[in-house]
Structure 1
Amino acid sequence: MKVEITIKNYRCFPDFKPAQITLQKGCTAFIGVNNSGKSSLLKFFYEFRQLFQVASTGNPWVELAAGRSYGFNFPKEVLTPQDVFCNATNPRPLEIQLQFVPDEADDKEEIQLSPSKIVISVPRNQTIFTALIYQGNQSLPPKTYKFDGVQLIDPDHNFSPVAYLAAVLNVFKDLAETQYIGPFRNAINLFPTSNINEVQTIQYLHISYFDITIGPPFIKKWRESSTGFDKSIIKSTNNITNDLKGIFGFENLKIDSSVNDQTFNFSIDGEVYTLHELGSGLAQFFLVLANIALQKPSYILIDEPELNLHPLLQSRFLITITKYATQGILFATHSLGLARTSADRIYSVQKESDGGSRVAEYGREPRPAELLGELSFSGYIELGFRKILLVEGSTDLKVIQQFLRLYKKDQDVVLLPLRGREGIHNNALEGLCEVRRICEEVYALIDSERSSADAPLQQRINDFSQLCCQAGIKCHILKYRATENYLSEAAIKKVKGNKYRALQPYEKLGDMKPSWDKVENWLIAKEMTLTELETTDLGQFLRKVCEE
């Protein structure tokens, strides 16, 4: 279920200029300068997580529906409740509105009784909240209802149902299972003291930086996870090791805790290093991956994922951690290029002259050459990159990146999203020529959008293909409708379950029941084999890109 969230009177977002964002599966970016409020948006989900946890169970809603308040706690980083309230001089409460947008596949009867909106109010400087349940434009009249496990029922009217809460409780459950990863990850002192005896006395204390466990407790947790009896946890630690091997190009990697749980020993391709001897990039990857893989959050909230990482590793870092989230990732960044290539949705956050902040969807799309500049393409060239592949959009970018890994060429090709119709049109020649001047080897891969084998191509697709030819760019139009039509049945069932099937060559994803979100395509692509891909025109084109 998609949720439209409006936040009023929270930190730099007063009630006359609230923050409005949409929370849904996939990757969401907040872009802005320092102190603009983008980090506050991430912290909101962290600071009110306990409230969401309370709201994720049915029992409080009997009290809330009756018009009474319910208590919650802020995390330890919030020293007083006053800290989270907007500094604007008004006595009004902090307000959180959640507008629910049901999925087309949801049960129609349940949708009719499900709340359309819930408005949560937190009185200024207090740790209690009230809530109004809306159905349509009317709020549920306050009275004493009963809760039967999935819905509120009215005992005064033959115990008839008045509000179906199951879907809403699942939304709150997802909000309660987020994981916040703050900035300065490489500034964290993993080892609180160098004194061995002192380490031994404090190693069982809870040492953390927001939701990242650090120090001896983290080392101990890794040791117990990798050598314990829980096979699923052991599998998670093995996945982390395999991810690090693939990202950094290691042939062999083994990670062990040292004596007395003071540090880690990394055995890399025959050499042994302690964590302090490794580069900050690998240390950050390991610290974050290990924490999120063992917690398995719904949404990962990460502040400045680009810190201390080369542009090549920034997008890989985001894509890698995204697979450990059940719903998606929200990140705050200074890098517009990273947001454009990694996010499914982008919000700009700007500081206003009155001291508040403004949040708006980021709509302007650059020409491909401009995006290359935002991505610091010169840095890629220094690492040996000589090819650029233009793809439809950010969801396709992640899919193609997984396919290139099958050819072991994902480190040789820079992928750029065209943003669908915004980049694929008959006026694209100038932008394509700019890219061609920057890089000699440029390719383009676009969807055919055919509804059948003999259906003609849309004029804009034909025109774009011809413009690519004029610019010296080798363009391939997919034989099938889109990239998701190339996902194999085995990979789909492995990721989504046995009730799902592969698309027919010209079938539209949204027309299939049950369907999945396009943002999940890359997770399915990750499970495909080279043999499955090689038999298709897509696989043959990618091999050509890799070998030329």
Structure 2
Amino acid sequence: MKDFYDLIFSENTELNDYFLNEEVEGISFFPKFNNINIIVGANNSGKSRFIRSFMSFQNLQGVDDINKIKTFIPIYNKEVQEVNKIIDSNINTYQFRSENTYYSDGSNPDRENVKILSRNILKVLDFDVLTDFLSIVKENKDKIVNVSYFGIKNQYLSEFNEIDDFFLKEFKSIKRYYIPTLRTAHSLFNFDLKLDKYSKIENDVFLETLNNYYKLDKIDVEVFTGIHLYKEILNTRNSRREIRQSFEKFEDFIGKYFFDKRKVDIVAEFNKDESLAGNNNLENISVHIEGEKNTRDLFRLGDGIQAIIILMYKIFMSENDSFIFIDEPELNLHPGMQRLFLEQITRNDDLKKKNLTYIITTHSNHFLDLTIEKENVSIYSFSAKKNTHGEKQFIIKNVNRGDNELLRNLGVNNSSVFMANCSIWVEGISDRNYIKAFLKSYYDWIGKSYPKEDIDFAFFEYAGSNIDHYIFEDKIEKEDVEIILEDIKALAISNRIFLLADSDASKQSSKKGIRLKELENIKSDNFIPKVVWNIREIENLLTNEMWKEILIELCNKTLVKSNEAEVLLKIEEALSEVKYSDYEKRYVGEFLEEIKNKMGKISSSFILNQSTYEVKSDGSFGTIINKKELSELVFNKNFSWETLSKNKEIEKLTIEIYKFISRKQ
């Protein structure tokens, strides 16, 4: 499945002052458009204006005259690059003829040499040619017999969808929703001096303000400010079944994450008699939580819950395949709430089925954290500058993950990590994934909701920082040890820290062992150092039962494809002879090498890929090469606590961290 594509813009986009990277001409395409697109930058960097303009774009397919309407066409980048190579190397001129034949040098090129001819826009596509191409195929779809269009042979054109799957991403229609910064979960009231009472303001003054400034009423977009949330809930409760089901899923989400998995009913209270009497100031949204005697009013809930309701309500109620535009979703959201929002739009099964596309502007570095773990996110950095004539311009960059310059532009500093109640320090993202897997399983087993990350606790990855260099390297001066230990104690004064460290099978009498013992000795109420002495590294915790579920992912893909049943049998047989516990203080590569030899070969090729672990120059074996990938396999398997707790080290470590987060130690 192709996960991102480029959006090629028509010429009349009104984005002439936006430039991609350091190009000298205005932006004509938006690269690597994805399921989730995060636009970040300082104030006045053109973010909101860009997405308001983008809202008015129409998809090229189905548009008769691209000169009158701002359009885009989504194109899969890899295929475009291949076509460009062919065009640039083989085609100097082209001529399109209505006889359904393409000629460049008097001959008819076949599909393998030329797929679609053009090199105008960005050296990618000529819009006029492409428009002709699409319209001709649509009109003659049933008549294609032994002819070729633009070098694409008829068997490839027999189904128009096949073209889309190869080259174009087709949007039959796009429903757009916009959640602006001007939003609230409250109905608005003013005081009527004549009547000596408060009356509800019927008009959506937020929307009218936006329309006045930005002419959103001229765009085919549904703007949701939240002011009419009461009416929307009232109408939803009385709508057809599929709409009510979407609302029930929204209620399930609220109950799961804010009220300990209890059933929640969100009701727009309605008094028919008062309404008929003209009394409109009694509108109220109430929240009933299972097991509670009294119903709560929405306006009495915390600002964070109200803010997340505004965001998630419209997303849950949106139509499938929609575009969701959101300006600064972090407003009134604690970092933990921001993480919850991001986890829902990426992981919630009900929302994934909707196949939504998100375009989000933000100032929050916590939204960037998502890219550490997710592949379906693109990040764009927006910045402002003035050209030589003093005119303001906006620079757009599609940036890589972990872009430090981007973080600096947002004013991010290390204190961000201390916004949670406590922090768990781990050596890297793989340790983080394992701990999350263990904790989620344990919380499910004891029947409690998983704590909110970045609120109840936060992970801090210290690999590569001073603690890693000072504490865990062999060459170190004694005074440096004392300095870093003092720093840790100072941090612990303002933040509760649980620090997890691998021993690398070091003896406590070794130099590293002595340093780790010194780390343990500064334990305090706020600082809990946990050195895992009984294993070399966290991967050594994986039991045979766990390896049985994930080993197939480390095997030769070609062999697995044609011999899956035999491979699974080989895995089971090898694990019956090799015990993980015999390798607890040895490198995982030694364990996997033994498994590889026990599994043997199919068609002269080893089943287990030796490339997944280190092979040292002396012929010995080291650790896993891609630790992150292995940890994600474990995390995604959702192992039960019954399975995990068979390893007493996992059980002990997990319960210690649980008690730490729960303030029970």
For the superposition of Structure 1 and Structure 2, which TM-score range results when normalised by the shorter chain? 0.5 to 0.7
Q: How does 1:153-168 map to 2 (within 5 A)?
A: 159=154, 161=156, 164-167=162-165
Q: Could you tell me how far apart the structure 1 residues matched to 2:112 and 2:499 are?
A: 46
What is the aligned partner in structure 2 of residue 545 from structure 1?
657
3-state SS of 1:301 partner: strand
Any stretches of 5+ residues in structure 2 without a counterpart?
A: 81-109, 211-215, 276-282, 473-483, 506-511, 521-528, 532-536, 551-560, 576-591, 593-607, 613-628, 661-665
What is the aligned partner in structure 2 of residue 258 from structure 1?
269
What is the aligned partner in structure 1 of residue 18 from structure 2?
13
Are the aligned partners of 2:186 and 2:227 in contact in 1 as well (CA < 8 Å)? no
- Quick one: structure 1 residues 116 and 470, their matched pair in 2 at CA, closer, same or farther if it must change by over 3 Å? farther
Query: Sequence identity of aligned pairs in percent?
Result: 13
- Quick one: structure 1 residues 24 and 200, their matched pair in 2 at CA, closer, same or farther if it must change by over 3 Å? closer
1:478 is the counterpart of 2:487: no
Q: Could you tell me how far apart the structure 2 residues matched to 1:194 and 1:169 are?
A: 59
3-state SS of 1:176 partner: coil
Q: Could you tell me how far apart the structure 2 residues matched to 1:387 and 1:263 are?
A: 41
What is the aligned partner in structure 2 of residue 37 from structure 1?
46
What is the aligned partner in structure 1 of residue 106 from structure 2?
none
Q: How does 1:273-288 map to 2 (within 5 A)?
A: 273-288=296-311
- Quick one: structure 1 residues 245 and 293, their matched pair in 2 at CA, closer, same or farther if it must change by over 3 Å? same
Q: Could you tell me how far apart the structure 2 residues matched to 1:152 and 1:402 are?
A: 56
Are the aligned partners of 1:243 and 1:320 in contact in 2 as well (CA < 8 Å)? no
Q: Could you tell me how far apart the structure 2 residues matched to 1:265 and 1:304 are?
A: 26
What is the aligned partner in structure 1 of residue 451 from structure 2?
410
Shift of 1:351: 0.8
Q: Which stretch shows the higher mean deviation, 428-437 or 269-278?
A: 428-437
What is the aligned partner in structure 2 of residue 181 from structure 1?
179
Q: Which has the larger radius of gyration?
A: 2
What is the aligned partner in structure 2 of residue 353 from structure 1?
386
User: Which of residues 416, 437, 451 is equivalent to 1:376?
Assistant: 416
Are the aligned partners of 1:212 and 1:291 in contact in 2 as well (CA < 8 Å)? no
Q: Could you tell me how far apart the structure 1 residues matched to 2:641 and 2:156 are?
A: 52
Are the aligned partners of 1:29 and 1:347 in contact in 2 as well (CA < 8 Å)? yes
3-state SS of 1:101 partner: helix
1:319 is the counterpart of 2:304: no
Instruction: State the Cα deviation string for residues 137-192 of structure 1 (Å, max 9, x = none).
Output: xx997994455779988857795545842326873429935643322323x76458
* TM-score using structure 2 length: 0.51
Any stretches of 5+ residues in structure 1 without a counterpart?
A: 64-68, 75-93, 104-108, 122-128, 134-138, 447-455, 458-463, 490-498, 512-517
Shift of 1:34: 0.8
Are the aligned partners of 1:98 and 1:118 in contact in 2 as well (CA < 8 Å)? no
Are the aligned partners of 2:335 and 2:366 in contact in 1 as well (CA < 8 Å)? no
Q: Could you tell me how far apart the structure 2 residues matched to 1:374 and 1:239 are?
A: 37
Whichever residue aligns with residue 253 of structure 1, its letter is: V
Q: How does 1:185-264 map to 2 (within 5 A)?
A: 185-186=183-184, 190=187, 211-213=222-224, 218-226=229-237, 230=241, 233-249=243-259, 253-259=264-270, 262-264=283-285
1:339 is the counterpart of 2:339: no
3-state SS of 1:356 partner: strand
- Quick one: structure 1 residues 116 and 272, their matched pair in 2 at CA, closer, same or farther if it must change by over 3 Å? farther
- Quick one: structure 1 residues 172 and 409, their matched pair in 2 at CA, closer, same or farther if it must change by over 3 Å? same
Q: Which stretch shows the higher mean deviation, 320-329 or 236-245?
A: 320-329
- Quick one: structure 1 residues 175 and 338, their matched pair in 2 at CA, closer, same or farther if it must change by over 3 Å? farther
Are the aligned partners of 2:440 and 2:450 in contact in 1 as well (CA < 8 Å)? no
Q: Which stretch shows the higher mean deviation, 353-362 or 269-278?
A: 269-278
Q: Could you tell me how far apart the structure 1 residues matched to 2:233 and 2:548 are?
A: 35
What is the aligned partner in structure 1 of residue 429 from structure 2?
392
Whichever residue aligns with residue 77 of structure 2, its letter is: F
3-state SS of 1:171 partner: coil
- Quick one: structure 1 residues 293 and 153, their matched pair in 2 at CA, closer, same or farther if it must change by over 3 Å? farther
Are the aligned partners of 2:7 and 2:72 in contact in 1 as well (CA < 8 Å)? no
Instruction: State the Cα deviation string for residues 382-428 of structure 1 (Å, max 9, x = none).
Output: xxx2544565179959965865763645233312467xxxx569994
* TM-score using structure 1 length: 0.60
